[in-house]
Amino acid sequence: MGRPEKNEYGEWYAGYISLVPEEDILNAITLQADEIKDLAASIAENKGSYAYADGKWTVKELLGHINDGERIFAYRALRIARGDRTPLSGFEQDDYIATGRFNERTVSDLADEFVLLRRSNIKLFENLEEEAWHRMGTASDNPISVRAAAYIMTGHVRHHLNILKSRYLA
């Protein structure tokens, strides 16, 4: 299916896509489930409530945000893959954090949720025909293809794992 072209996503998402140099997006998506599970296993539960600065998310909130993003990007990919041309709205991540109750959960539980979400999304992507990967839709007032959504999902996780490693766990 190849990498998405620049006209398949909004400029805002270029940073996420740049974090995914792989050509085989299905393999990259698959490997991330284990990466999150392994990283979460290395985080002491008392570290889950840690935020590296005032006003920043806790480790658990960051993991919850990754899960919310996984759901939202997959929903966009599904709708577009199925030919739905309805423009899809954006979401305010801080509002989702405020109502997500992530700090009431364990780090392990949040990681388990991601693994389940990702396994489901892998099945979605594995079973798309080539034509579906190239279908275009609109999300957050920008054009987006299904293959761009897959790269954005992967890059979004990488972006936040990089922050987790460098600012929370360093």
pLDDT digits (tens, 9 = 90+) for 77-120: 999 999 999 999 999 999 999 999 999 999 999 999 999 999 99
CATH number of the domain that residue 107 is part of: 1.20.120.450
pLDDT digits (tens, 9 = 90+) for 121-164: 999 999 999 999 999 999 999 999 999 999 999 999 999 999 99
pLDDT digits (tens, 9 = 90+) for 33-81: 999 999 999 999 999 999 999 999 999 999 999 999 999 999 999 999 9
Q: Is residue 41 in some structural domain?
A: yes
**Which pLDDT score is estimated for 1?**
78
| Whether the Cβ atoms of residue 134 and residue 146 lie closer than 8 Å to each other | yes
Counted domains in the chain: 1
Provide the residue range defining the domain that includes 41: 6-168
Instruction: Please give the angle made by the CA atoms of 101, 106 and 108, to the nearest 5 degrees.
Output: 130
Q: Is residue 1 in some structural domain?
A: no
